[in-house]
Amino acid sequence: MNEVRIKLNQLSKEYGENHAVKPFDLEVKKGELFCFLGPNGSGKTTTIKMMTGLLEPTNGTVHISGVNMWKEALEAKKQIAYVPDQPKLYPKLTGSEFLQFTASVFRLKEEEFEERAERYVRMFQLEHRLDELIETYSHGMKQKLSLCAALLHEPKVLFLDEPTVGLDPKGARTMKNLLQELCRGGMTVFMSTHILEIAEQMCDRVAIIKNGDLLTVGTVDELRQEKGSEDSSLEDLFLELTGDRETQSYVQEMEDYPSKGIRE
C-alpha cells in the first residue's frame, strides 16, 4: 500500500461568518503529483497555507507523513518545502548567499549543499546570476531561485502555489520535467495552478474547489466518467463543475455581438 504523505481531516477556515474553506477530507500519497484547481478566491492558497503551517485552521487536522502539523510543527516542517506564487526572499542577499542561508537552516553538510545547489542552479540556468543581489532578479528568476532553495533538503512533500507564473516557456518546461522526475523518485508534489493544460498533462489526480467547497477529487478520467463525458477536456470539466460554462457562453456572445451588429 502506498504511503500517505498528506492527510487532511475535516480541515476548514472561517473568518467570522465567512467560510473561506469548508470542512473536507483528503489524502495524497507518496510519489503523487497532485493539482489543486479553482477560480480566483476559491480557497486554494488558504488551504495550502494551513497545510504548510502558515495559517492555523479553524477546525480539522493536517498530517504530513503521519506528523501533526499543529502539534509537532518543527518535525512536520522538516519534511516539507513551500514555494508561494510571490516568493518572499531577502533582497539584499545574493542568490548564492540565499541558498547558503537555506542550507544552514536545514543543517545540510557542505558536500550535500554543493552537489544539490549546483544541480538545480544549472538546471534553471542561474549560475551566472548567483553573485547578483536578489532585488535585481525578475519575478521568474525569483521563482527559480525559490524552487532551488526548496529542494536543497530533499523534502518529502513539495507545495507549489501557481509555480509557472512569471516563468518563460523554457523555464516552465524545465519545471514540468523536474517535478515529474521528483515524483518518480518518491517525492509528493501538491500544486495549485490556473493553467488547466498543465494540470491535465502532468497531474496524477486533481481536486477542484470553489467558494471554499471541495467539489471533486480524482483522475481526469474519473472526472470524465463522473460527468458522463468521455471526450471532455479538463477545461470543459472545470467550467462545468464550477458553473462557469454559462459565463463563458455569455462572454463569447458579447465578443460576437459587434460583428453581428455590423452585418445587420
* pLDDT tens digits along 80-102: 999 998 888 999 999 999 999 99
Angle, alpha carbons 173-152-165 (nearest 5°): 35
d(CA 29, CA 11): 18
Q: Tell me the torsion sign for CA atoms 88, 91, 95, 99.
A: negative
Query: Which amino acid, 102?
Result: T
Q: What is the DSSP letter of 84?
A: -
d(CA 80, CA 85): 16
Which CATH number fits the domain that encloses residue 63?
3.40.50.300
Predicted confidence (pLDDT) at residue 256 exceeds the cutoff of 80 = no
Query: What is the rounded average pLDDT of the residues 208-215?
Result: 93
Residue written as grid cell 480524482: 218
What 3-state DSSP class applies to 33? Answer: strand
Predicted confidence (pLDDT) at residue 243 exceeds the cutoff of 90 = no
Predicted confidence (pLDDT) at residue 228 exceeds the cutoff of 80 = no
Kindly report the number of other CB atoms within 10 A of residue 56's CB atom: 10
Burial class (CB in 10 A: 0-12, 13-18, 19+), 74: exposed
pTM listed for this prediction? 0.87
**178, part of any domain:** yes
Considering its fold, how many domains does the chain have in total? 1
**244, part of any domain:** no
Average pLDDT, the chain: 88
Q: Are strands 59-64 and 205-210 parallel, antiparallel or unpaired?
A: unpaired
Predicted confidence (pLDDT) at residue 248 exceeds the cutoff of 60 = no
pLDDT of residue 244: 58
Q: What is the DSSP letter of 55?
A: S
Question: Which cell numbers in the block locate residue 9?
Answer: 481531516
Q: In what order do the strands lie in the sheet with 4-15?
A: 18-29, 4-15, 59-64, 67-68
pLDDT of residue 255: 45
**231, part of any domain:** no
Residue written as grid cell 512533500: 157
Q: Which residues contact 58 (CB under 8 A, 6 or more apart)?
A: 12, 13, 14
Helices (H), the chain: 44-51, 73-77, 95-105, 110-123, 139-150, 169-184, 196-202, 220-227, 234-242, 245-263
**21, part of any domain:** yes
Query: What is the rounded average pLDDT of the residues 65-81?
Result: 95
**29, part of any domain:** yes
pLDDT range class, residue 29, cuts 50, 70, 90: very high
pLDDT tens-digit map of 127-182: 999 999 999 999 889 999 999 999 999 999 999 998 877 777 888 888 888 999 99
**227, part of any domain:** no
pLDDT of residue 251: 36
Q: What percent of the chain stands above pLDDT 70?
A: 91
pLDDT of residue 234: 84
pLDDT tens-digit map of 91-139: 999 999 999 999 999 999 999 999 999 999 999 999 999 999 999 999 8
**51, part of any domain:** yes
**236, part of any domain:** no
Quote the domain boundaries for residue 70.
Answer: 4-221
Q: Are 160 and 192 in contact (CB under 8 A)?
A: yes
Q: Are 150 and 82 in contact (CB under 8 A)?
A: yes
